[in-house]
Structure 1
C-alpha cells in the first residue's frame, strides 16, 4: 500500500497508548516492591500451537521439584541448588498453570500428552540456593521467585495489529488469502465474502457467517498439510473465554467503493476490529507481555519441514513478526523498576527426539536460519540470544537398522494412534524403528521448491513409559538438553 493511501491512526487511540504505558510502569513498580525482599524473575514461555509449551513447563517444574540430575545446570551440579517448591502466585486474576493435572496425564495408565496451551496461565516456583559469590554467601541461603508465564504464540501475532487500521489489516489478510498456497483453504471464505453486500445494513447473521468462514479458513491453514503460521488474529484460533463474543465476530473486507454508512455491515466489522484491539490485545500487552524479564520461544520446525518450503517460509515470517514485538535490551536494577525489558531470549527447536542425535546440529542450523532476522534485532538492542535443539520429555530412544546393506540411524518409539506413514496407519500400541530422513546440510535448500528437497518422515509418538526413579522415588523423564535450557534461562540468577 502506498503511503498516500494509508489511513492515519485515529487520535483517540493515543490516550489509550499513554494509559497502557502508565499501567505497565505501575505494574513494574508493584513487582519491584513485592520483590524487595525476595527477587523475582519472570520468564515467558511461548511458541505457536503444538510447539510443546505445556510439556516444557511441566518438565521444567518437575525436574526442579524432584531434584533430578541435570548435568548442564551448573547450580545443581555444583550442589548449590538446595531445592524448589511451588508457592502461591500473587496475581489472582490470571489462571494458574495446571502442573499437577499435566503431570498426572504423563504418568497415567496409559500415559498421554497433556492438553495444549489455550490461554494465558502462570505459576510460581520458589528456589533456595547457595550463592557462589563470597559476600552474598556469607549472608546465608538465597531465595529466588521464578514466575513462569505460559501464553500462546498466536496471541503475539496480534501485537502488530495495534498499529494497523481495519483497512490496512483487511488488505494484508485478503492478499494472503488469495495466494496460491492458501487457495484451497481460503476459497469458501472468499466465496462467502463475494456473496455479501458489505455496504448494506448491519446484520448480525451476516457478520457471524463471515467470521465463521474466516475462522475455518485460518484453522484449515493451521493443519499439518499446510502448517502455516502467519494467521492473525490469534484469538480466532485460540479464543479462550472470548469465544462467540462480538470482539471475535469480524472478518477482513475489501476496500469499499465509497465511504460506508455508520450503520453498514462494513462499519460494524470495523468497530469490532477496533474493539478487538482494545478488549483483547492491549490488556495482554499491558498486563503480561510487557512485564517479562526473559523469554523462551519454542519452535516446531519439524512440522513445517514436513509440510514443505511454503510452510518453512511462513514460519520464518511468523517468528520475525513475533520477535519484533518484544521490548528487548539490558536494563540496570534502577531503570528496571520503570522500564522492564527482556535481556535473554532462548530459541528452542522442540521435538529433537524425532531425529537421531547426529542430526541435531543440522536442526539447530535450521533454527538459526529461521530466527536470523529476529536474532539480529535482539542483539542490536542489547539482548542475549541462544538456539538449542531440545526435547523437554524424550519419547523415543535411538537405534540402528540395516537397509539394503546400508546402516541407518533410527529412532525407536510407539507412534500415536492414527499416525500415518505411507500405507501404514498405526494403532497406538506397536513400537517401531523409524529412519526419519536426513536434514539438508544447507538450511537454505528448505526454502526452495525443487527436486533436491529431502524426504522427511516425522511422526508423533506416545510419552515414555519405562521411567527411571530418583533417590526419593520420583519418576524421571528422559530429555534432550533441558538442563542447558534451564541453565541459560536462570543460571546467572543463582550465582
Structure 2
C-alpha cells in the first residue's frame, strides 16, 4: 500500500471513529434529558424479590390492572417497555425466563443469588394541565435487585475481627441445636490459634460455620441475622480466601497474633472480606439508589416461632441503619444520603384471609417502628404495606354440615403438609390457615407463656403454586393477579409521574 493510500485509510478510520463518538455523544445527550430513578429491591431469602420485579414489569408492560397506581388507573400511562440497562458490568435480571416460569410452568422462579439490573422506560402524560401542554413525559426506571443478606453485612464495617467473633459465637451458642458441629470444630482447634496456619483447618472451620448458617436459614428455623452474607450466596467468589474464614473464640487474648498463625490469617481474611466484598458493594451499588423496597417474609418467621420473629426484628434494625447514616456517622464516608423513600412490604398476603391483611401490616409496622427507633432513623419517607406480588389464592367459603367456614382456594406446592395431609401440587384445595392474634405480642412469646396457645398452634401457612391466568371472553390472557402491587408502585414512583 502506497503512503498516500495509507494516509487516506487512516483518515477514513479517524473520521469513522469521530462519527461513532458523535453518535454516542448524541444518544447520551438525548438520554440525559430523560430523568431516571434507581429502585433497589431487596429482602432476605424467600421474601419474593424475583417475583416482585417480574410481576411489576409484567403488569406495566402488559397493561395489568393497577387501579391504585395513579398514572395507570387514570389512563395517563401510555406505555412501558424494556431497554438495555445502563450498567454493562452488572448482570441483567432475567425477566423473560422468570415470567415464563411463573405463567407457563406455574412455578416460582429461583431466588436472588447475586446483584442484577433491569431498565424499564415509562411514557406518560402529566397529571397537570400545564405540563400536558409541554408534551408527554418519559421516565427511566432502573431496578436493582440484590440479596438482603448482603445488606446485613453493613454491620461488619464497624466491627473488627474480635467483635465479629464475639457476636457470631454468641448467636451460635444461643442456637445449640443448629450450631453444634461448628462449635465442636471450633473447640477442637482452640489450642491451634497460635500455631502455623493450616489451610485444611481454615477450610473445615469455614465449612462447618457455613453449614450452621445454612441450617439457620431453613424454613423451620427462618432465622435472619446470618452475616457474613456471601457465605450463603458466594457466587463466583466460592472457595476464595476472602470467604474461607470463621469466627474464633479469642477469650481474653489481647496481644496481636504473630504472622502466619491461624488467628492472624483468619483476621487477615476477615479484613479482606470487608475490604474487597462489603465496602465495594455499598459504594458501587447501594449508594447509588434513589428509592428502596424491602420485602419481608413475616409468615415464614411466624411459622418458625418467636425466636425467628425476634431475629427478624434485629435484622430489620440492621437494615434500617443502612439507609440513613447521621451526619457524624462513620457511615458517611461509605454511603451518601440519597434514598428518600423506603417501603417495607410484608409479602405473601394471599396466604392469609383478607380480614388478616391489616394484622399482617400491623405486625410489620411494629417491627419497623422498633427498628427505626433503635437505628435513630431520620430523613426518608417510610411506609409499610402487606402485599402479594402474585396472588396465588382466592377467597372462598366452605359449607360443611350447615356451617360456613372462610378459606383460601389455591393449589398447594408439592409436599406441602397440614397435619397428616400431604399435597401433590396438582389439585386445588380449600385451606383455612388460621387467624393472626388480635394481640400481636402473643407471636413473640412461647406457647407455654401465651394465653392463646391454641390459636398459636393453629397457625399454619402453606405455600401455593402460581395461579392459572384468567382469559377474557375474547380469548385474551390477563396479566398476573396481585394484592396491592399497585399501591407499592404509587408510593415508590407516583410522584415521579405526576
8 Å CA contact 2:396, 2:406 repeated in 1: yes
Per the TM alignment, residue 408 of structure 1 is displaced from its structure 2 partner at its CA by 2.4
1:252 aligns with 2:255: no
Q: Which residue of 1 aligns with 2:12?
A: none
| 1:397-445 C-alpha deviation (Å, 9 max, x unpaired) | 1112246765322101111111122112221112211110010112222
8 Å CA contact 1:46, 1:296 repeated in 2: yes
Q: Which residue of 2 aligns with 1:464?
A: 467
Q: Tell me the number of residue pairs that the alignment of Structure 1 and Structure 2 aligns.
A: 453
Q: Which residue of 2 aligns with 1:490?
A: 493
8 Å CA contact 1:328, 1:343 repeated in 2: no
8 Å CA contact 1:328, 1:382 repeated in 2: no
Q: Take 1:474 and 1:425, find their aligned partners in 2: how far apart are those partners?
A: 31
1:477 aligns with 2:480: yes
Q: Which residue of 1 aligns with 2:176?
A: 183
Q: Which residue of 2 aligns with 1:14?
A: none
Q: Take 1:245 and 1:427, find their aligned partners in 2: how far apart are those partners?
A: 41
Q: Take 2:63 and 2:373, find their aligned partners in 1: how far apart are those partners?
A: 36
Q: Take 2:199 and 2:280, find their aligned partners in 1: how far apart are those partners?
A: 26
Q: Which residue of 2 aligns with 1:199?
A: 194
Q: Which residue of 2 aligns with 1:45?
A: 41
Per the TM alignment, residue 193 of structure 1 is displaced from its structure 2 partner at its CA by 0.6
Q: Provide closer, same or farther for how the CA distance between residues 310 and 405 of structure 1 changes in structure 2, counting only shifts above 3 A.
A: farther
Q: Take 1:494 and 1:328, find their aligned partners in 2: how far apart are those partners?
A: 28
Per the TM alignment, residue 226 of structure 1 is displaced from its structure 2 partner at its CA by 1.0
Q: Which residue of 1 aligns with 2:126?
A: 131
Q: Provide closer, same or farther for how the CA distance between residues 34 and 119 of structure 1 changes in structure 2, counting only shifts above 3 A.
A: farther
Q: Provide closer, same or farther for how the CA distance between residues 77 and 411 of structure 1 changes in structure 2, counting only shifts above 3 A.
A: same
Q: How does 1:396-407 map to 2 (within 5 A)?
A: 396-402=393-399, 406-407=403-404
Q: Take 1:63 and 1:52, find their aligned partners in 2: how far apart are those partners?
A: 16
| 1:309-364 C-alpha deviation (Å, 9 max, x unpaired) | 111110011011111111379xxxxxxxx955111111111000101101101111
Q: Provide closer, same or farther for how the CA distance between residues 472 and 272 of structure 1 changes in structure 2, counting only shifts above 3 A.
A: farther
Q: How does 1:382-397 map to 2 (within 5 A)?
A: 382-397=379-394
Unpaired segments of 5 or more residues in structure 2? 1-27, 327-334
Per the TM alignment, residue 192 of structure 1 is displaced from its structure 2 partner at its CA by 0.5
Q: Take 2:81 and 2:109, find their aligned partners in 1: how far apart are those partners?
A: 21
Give 2:76's match in structure 1, choosing from 75, 80, 83: 80
Per the TM alignment, residue 259 of structure 1 is displaced from its structure 2 partner at its CA by 3.8
| Equivalent position SS for 1:274 | helix
1:367 aligns with 2:367: no
Unpaired segments of 5 or more residues in structure 1? 1-31, 330-337
Q: Provide closer, same or farther for how the CA distance between residues 342 and 472 of structure 1 changes in structure 2, counting only shifts above 3 A.
A: farther
| 1:26-66 C-alpha deviation (Å, 9 max, x unpaired) | xxxxxx99964111111100000000000000000001101
Q: Provide closer, same or farther for how the CA distance between residues 283 and 262 of structure 1 changes in structure 2, counting only shifts above 3 A.
A: same
Task: State the structure with more CA Rg.
Answer: 2
Q: Take 1:328 and 1:63, find their aligned partners in 2: how far apart are those partners?
A: 35
1:90 aligns with 2:90: no
Q: Which residue of 2 aligns with 1:111?
A: 106
**TM (normalized to structure 1)?**
0.88
Per the TM alignment, residue 475 of structure 1 is displaced from its structure 2 partner at its CA by 3.7
Q: Which residue of 2 aligns with 1:19?
A: none
Give 1:271's match in structure 2, choosing from 257, 261, 268: 268
Per the TM alignment, residue 374 of structure 1 is displaced from its structure 2 partner at its CA by 3.1
Q: Provide closer, same or farther for how the CA distance between residues 473 and 405 of structure 1 changes in structure 2, counting only shifts above 3 A.
A: closer
Q: Provide closer, same or farther for how the CA distance between residues 377 and 315 of structure 1 changes in structure 2, counting only shifts above 3 A.
A: closer
1:155 aligns with 2:150: yes
Q: How does 1:412-451 map to 2 (within 5 A)?
A: 412-449=409-446, 450-451=449-450
8 Å CA contact 2:115, 2:147 repeated in 1: yes
More deviation, 50-59/391-400: 391-400
Per the TM alignment, residue 142 of structure 1 is displaced from its structure 2 partner at its CA by 0.9
Q: Take 1:378 and 1:470, find their aligned partners in 2: how far apart are those partners?
A: 53
| Equivalent position SS for 2:120 | strand
**TM (normalized to structure 2)?**
0.87
| Equivalent position SS for 1:144 | strand
8 Å CA contact 1:469, 1:475 repeated in 2: yes
Q: Take 1:166 and 1:123, find their aligned partners in 2: how far apart are those partners?
A: 36
How large is the Cα RMSD of the aligned pairs? Answer: 2.1
Q: Provide closer, same or farther for how the CA distance between residues 188 and 428 of structure 1 changes in structure 2, counting only shifts above 3 A.
A: same
Q: Provide closer, same or farther for how the CA distance between residues 350 and 250 of structure 1 changes in structure 2, counting only shifts above 3 A.
A: same
Q: Which residue of 1 aligns with 2:6?
A: none
